[in-house]
Amino acid sequence: MKAYILIKVRAGDLKDVVGQLRKIKGVSEAHMTFGPYDAIAVVETTDLAKLGSITALEIQPIPGVEQTLTCLAVEV
């Protein structure tokens, strides 16, 4: 299962947040973005419960993270 997590970050904290995202097991990529969201994390997990755990317990508590939006990737 793959998900794209769009993240709004407090001004001045972007570099630190992206660095912390890259350390999380299950995050395969993390980048700064331009647009309504400041960063994106690509998360690959075995199930929805693990995705929820990574989002709620590891990404959202990072200092500077203000909001997340999780988008599940679906094969067509």
Read off the pLDDT of residues 6-57 as tens digits, 9 standing for 90 and up.
Answer: 999 999 999 999 999 999 999 999 999 999 999 999 999 999 999 999 999 9
Q: Indicate whether 75 pLDDT > 90.
A: no
Please tell me the CATH code under which domain 2-72 is placed.
Answer: 3.30.70.920
Quote the pLDDT of residue 5. 98
Task: Give this prediction's pTM.
Answer: 0.94
Q: Residue 32 burial (CB < 10 Å; 0-12/13-18/19+)? A: middle
Length of the chain equals 76
* Domain edges within the chain: 2-72
Within 13 Å, how many C-alpha atoms sit on residue 8's CB side?
5
The pLDDT of residue 58 is: 98
